[in-house]
Amino acid sequence: MKIQPEIELNATTEEKIKEAARRVFTSKGYAATRTRDIAEESGYNLALINYYFRSKEKLFDIIMLEHLQLFIHSVMGIVNDPETSVHEKIELLISHYIDMLIKNPDLPLFVLSEINANPVKLAAKLGFGHVERGNIYLVKQWKELTAAKILPNVNPLHILMNVLSMTIFPFVASPLLRNRTGISQEEFNKLMLERKKLIPVWINAMITTS
Amino acid sequence: MKIQPEIELNATTEEKIKEAARRVFTSKGYAATRTRDIAEESGYNLALINYYFRSKEKLFDIIMLEHLQLFIHSVMGIVNDPETSVHEKIELLISHYIDMLIKNPDLPLFVLSEINANPVKLAAKLGFGHVERGNIYLVKQWKELTAAKILPNVNPLHILMNVLSMTIFPFVASPLLRNRTGISQEEFNKLMLERKKLIPVWINAMITTS
DNA sequence: AAGAGATTTAATCAGGTGATTAAAATTATT
DNA sequence: AATAATTTTAATCACCTGATTAAATCTCTT
């Protein structure tokens, strides 16, 4: 029986396999990807994939966990910053997201699909860094502003949904949108970059007129 | 060799199988559903599924085609109506969509996932009722209003994206949203019903302030 | 009751897929 | 060069899954 390889020394090949797996999983989903696809995509062979990660499911879990951690960590970093205003936070969130999504366009559809396919299993993974709502700095700021009547008393969940929707959904619907409108990938990205400035303005408009 | 059954007379069982297949496909996706799942869900057995529909893929294609047709047909009915104004069309679209999505919450994620997984194959199905953009009544009305400076000269694609995003995305992200916020299915639906009135107001706000 | 059509049973098939293994080959380390 | 670690090869397993088939059973109509 061979011994688990020194992971520190092999970070490169292990990383390569994980990167390949990430690509295949995100483009085809868990059920549709075969371990052999990952082997082919990574340039290594099937035996080595299982040698490093034991099973398809374990490899998937690692990748999904890293995605969720990265996602939540980066959002929390912005949302919990005491130095920025509410409007700055919204701008930063949108800008940060769109840049990330232009690099990884099929990430949200992948994550949302897998959560939908297996909500119970992924609920555990989602619970890891559960911060109490009241402790989030953005929430405090929002409450202060509504108390001072500077912001209208809308359910902030609606505003959150609107920010996330207008930012993320175009990427989720991108294949369909491009099919129906005939615009190219580059034109689409240009539109998304425009939205980095537009969405905060729109959010502002809907907040101040409610 | 048996003969294809009289479909007209058996509309009920054929419909039952299709309904079961629709449920399983939309909840787990094409790759993750087994023909045996559909058999179990329908109450009939594996042999009969294949007897009626020949293969898993043919059954899937039929269901997906019906979804897309229903979707596009209903949208076109609203968007091409010469009797309603631009604002009325937007309100009708949103209202119609939200009612439909409350009944079929995991429809959009399913459709978008499968299009993403197989864009080339589904592009053919999407081409069936391709109406020239200039012939759509809503587009004509929009152009008139921008020409008359009643509407600002924003790329209407942005507005379209915003309407679709704010309407559809909450349903796509519903499992994640409910997990993070802790709200129930009923509370979620109530929020969505609120949005039938709110989204048109928001859209109006972002149009008039641009 | 007879007969036609609908559905089930049960068995089978071929191919795909996740996973494991031992030995050989390659590469890196000393 | 010798040794250790890494990767490949190739074969194999057990299981799953889509699909087919023939005969048996059931259901309904007439």
With a cut of 80, say whether residue A127 has pLDDT above it: no
Q: What is the pLDDT of residue A166?
A: 98
CB of B56 lies under 7 Å from some atom of strand D: yes
Percent of chain B with pLDDT over 70: 92
pTM check: above 0.85: yes
Q: Who among B27, B161, B202 is closest to A206 (CB)?
A: B202
CB of B2 lies under 7 Å from some atom of strand C: yes
- Rounded mean pLDDT of A166-182? 93
With a cut of 60, say whether residue B3 has pLDDT above it: no
Reading the block at residue A197, the tokens are: 């400035």
Nearest CA in chain B to A191: B158
Please say whether the beta carbons of A173 and B71 come within 8 A: no
CB of B45 lies under 7 Å from some atom of strand D: no
pLDDT in tens, B89-128: 999 999 999 999 999 999 999 999 999 998 888 887 777 6
- Confidence band (pLDDT; 50, 70, 90) for A128? low
pLDDT in tens, A57-115: 999 999 999 998 888 888 899 999 999 999 999 999 999 999 999 999 999 999 999 99
Report the candidate in B93, B108, B82 with the shortest Cα–Cα distance to residue B171.
Answer: B108
- Confidence band (pLDDT; 50, 70, 90) for A210? low
Q: Which of B57, B111, B113 to mutate to test the interface with A (most CBs of A within 10 A)?
A: B113
The overall average pLDDT reported for chain B is 90
List the single range of A164-178, B9-23, B115-129 with lowest mean pLDDT.
Answer: B115-129
Is B172's CB within 8 Å of A170's CB? Answer: no
**All structural domains of chain A with their residue ranges:** 1-54, 61-209
Q: What is the pLDDT of residue A60?
A: 98
- Rounded mean pLDDT of A10-28? 91
Q: Residues 6 or more apart from A208 whose CB is under 8 A from it?
A: A152, B205
In CATH, A1-54 is 1.10.10.60: yes
CB of A45 lies under 7 Å from some atom of strand D: yes
pLDDT in tens, B158-182: 999 999 999 999 999 999 899 888 8
Report which DSSP code applies to B131: -
Reading the block at residue A87, the tokens are: 């409007």
Q: Who among B28, B116, B123 is closest to A117 (CB)?
A: B28
The overall average pLDDT reported for chain A is 90
With a cut of 50, say whether residue A5 has pLDDT above it: no
Q: How many CB pairs under 8 A join A and B?
A: 137
Protein-covered nucleotides on strand C (Cβ within 7 A): 5-11, 16-22
Judged by CB atoms within 8 Å, which residues 54-93 of A form the interface with B?
A: none
Q: Where are the alpha helices (DSSP H) in B29-173?
A: 35-42, 46-53, 56-79, 86-103, 107-117, 119-126, 137-147, 156-172
CA closest to C1' of D16 belongs to B34
With a cut of 90, say whether residue B11 has pLDDT above it: no
Q: What is the pLDDT of residue A112?
A: 96
Higher pLDDT, B74 or A91: A91
Is B175's CB within 8 Å of A119's CB? Answer: yes
